[in-house]
Amino acid sequence: MLRYLTGGESHGRCMLTIIDGMPAGLYVDKSIIDLDLARRMLGYGRGKRMAIESDKVDILSGLRKERTIGSPISLLVKNIDDSIDRLSKVYEPRPGHADLSGILKYNLSDIRDVLERASARETVSRVAVGAICKILLAEFGITVVSHVVAIGAAVSKAKNLTFKRIVSSSIKSPVMCADAKASVSMCKEIDKAMSAGDTLGGIFEILIHGVPPGLGSYAQWDRRIDGSLAKAIMSIQAIKGVDFGTGFESASLKGSLAHDEIFYDKRRGFYRKSNNAGGIEGGMTTGEDIIIKAAMKPISTLRRPLSSVDIRTKRAVKAAVERSDVCAVPAAAVIGEAVSSIEIANSLIEKFAGDSIPEMKRNYDGYLAQIKRF
Ligand code: EPS
């Protein structure tokens, strides 16, 4: 089983991660992790913090000569802005943030004690873990990409995108959108929100290619792979909805139109002409691309703040204002890629009994041959 724990406050000394269960024999190029950390910092609408930080991973354990050895991998990313002890106390909870429930739950008197850990800065750790998982997935021909579909009222019209196109266009677009025209509208939306002291959310899509059929299981509720992917994505700060394939839209389709008919060809084996299921049926992968969409709410720190209550006096006040982002949907897409990669890697390790990469590959090849013979 692959698992990981993270620690660290937004303006503390560092973000820490320990990964357990990564198979031995995986060559980990640190620059690949740093590349995803850099992608996470990008995106039009990010705040000033991203100009201060320069997220780079330090791998403290678990590798020898850049290869995993089966022991826990420890990762550290330093915070350049590590001013936590100098920061002011906060008493005015922001609607939409963890602030109010956090102080009530932990019996705290300074909201900063909550917001420092609730912050999406924690996703530095998840992106670093996800980058290592992507390296593992690449060994099995699996690729994970993402792109932004909507920001505020601006919606991408790009349809049936190839993986190559998603990667090439997301590099060019300041908001990781594959539709150049929509990309301009999204930036305008962000500008408008910024000058109004407001914030914006949006929708991003994650696509996973090359997954064999049969990851996950229908046999127990917590082994269903759509369940674990949805949990991982919903746990990203500010995510309010996740769907697979035609998702919410499928609720209004007739059965005859909703499902992906099955065909067989000697060369291709079983295949589908559509993928409304988004690559998952019965809690298991079908072998088609996994397609996930996630909705992010607008950032809850507003420069023109909403009504709140001072937790000391109980008087009506305006919510606290912290340095923050106007829109972080492109960053959330990168984080979505990361957490999805972690879940797929975990299922792959489980199915192909992965203590080492060669062992996993033997089991993987045997399974593919079994499917081919079926
Ligand atoms: C950050 C995410 C956001 C940023 C934060 C860094 O965190 P939050 O979820 O708390 O809004 O605003 O940066 C700051 C708090 C800051 O000092 O500007 C990230 O993804 O690294």
Q: How far is the CA of 17 from the centre of ligand 1 (A)?
A: 18
Confirm or reject: Cβ of 125 under 6 Å from ligand 1. Answer: no
Q: Kindly report, residue by residue over 71-126, the tens digit of the pLDDT.
A: 999 999 999 999 999 999 999 999 999 999 999 999 999 999 999 999 999 999 99
Residue type, 359: E
Our CA angle for 66, 72, 78, nearest 5°, is 75
**Which atom of ligand 1 lies at the shortest distance from residue 48's CA?**
18
Asked if 301 contacts 94 with a C-beta cutoff of 8 angstroms, the reply is yes
**Secondary structure string (H, E, C) spanning 221-273:** HHHCHHHHHHHHHHCCCCEEEEEECCHHHHHHCCHHHHCCCEEEECCCEEEEC
Q: How far is the CA of 306 from the centre of ligand 1 (A)?
A: 19
Q: Half-sphere exposure of 244 toward its Cβ, with a 13 Å CA cutoff?
A: 26
CA distance 60 to 57: 9
Confirm or reject: Cβ of 120 under 6 Å from ligand 1. Answer: yes
Q: How far is the CA of 120 from the centre of ligand 1 (A)?
A: 6
Confirm or reject: Cβ of 47 under 6 Å from ligand 1. Answer: yes
Q: Kindly report, residue by residue over 125-136, the tens digit of the pLDDT.
A: 999 999 999 999
- CA 267 to chain centroid, in Å, comes to 35
The DSSP secondary structure of 102-171, one letter per residue, reads HHHHHT-S-THHHHHHHSGGGHHHHHHHHHHHHHHHHHTT-EEEEEEEEETTEE----S--HHHHHHHHH
Q: What was the pLDDT predicted at 227? A: 98
Confirm or reject: Cβ of 305 under 6 Å from ligand 1. Answer: no
Q: How far is the CA of 42 from the centre of ligand 1 (A)?
A: 13
Confirm or reject: Cβ of 286 under 6 Å from ligand 1. Answer: no
Q: How far is the CA of 121 from the centre of ligand 1 (A)?
A: 5
Q: How far is the CA of 73 from the centre of ligand 1 (A)?
A: 25
Q: What was the pLDDT predicted at 354? A: 81
* Ligand 1, atom 19: closest residue by C-alpha: 121
Choose the residue to mutate in 39, 49, 123, 299 for probing ligand 1, maximizing ligand atoms within 8 Å of C-beta. Answer: 49
CA distance 298 to 296: 7
Q: What was the pLDDT predicted at 169? A: 84
Confirm or reject: Cβ of 323 under 6 Å from ligand 1. Answer: yes
Confirm or reject: Cβ of 325 under 6 Å from ligand 1. Answer: yes
Choose the residue to mutate in 303, 325, 334 for probing ligand 1, maximizing ligand atoms within 8 Å of C-beta. Answer: 325
Q: How far is the CA of 10 from the centre of ligand 1 (A)?
A: 7
Q: What was the pLDDT predicted at 160? A: 83
Neighbours of 109 (CB within 10 A): 10
**Which atom of ligand 1 lies at the shortest distance from residue 301's CA?**
11
Strand partners, 294: 204, 242
Name the strand (E) or helix (H) holding 330.
helix 329-351
Confirm or reject: Cβ of 300 under 6 Å from ligand 1. Answer: no
Q: What was the pLDDT predicted at 170? A: 81
* Ligand 1, atom 10: closest residue by C-alpha: 119
Could you tell me which of 217, 232, 274 has the C-alpha nearest to residue 123? Answer: 232
> Can you list the residues of the chain whose pLDDT is less than 70?
none
**Which atom of ligand 1 lies at the shortest distance from residue 11's CA?**
17
Q: How far is the CA of 298 from the centre of ligand 1 (A)?
A: 14
Confirm or reject: Cβ of 285 under 6 Å from ligand 1. Answer: no
CA distance 162 to 369: 27
Could you tell me which of 185, 362, 374 has the C-alpha nearest to residue 287? Answer: 374
**Which atom of ligand 1 lies at the shortest distance from residue 49's CA?**
18
Look up the pTM and report it.
0.97
CA-derived radius of gyration, the chain: 22
Q: What was the pLDDT predicted at 171? A: 85
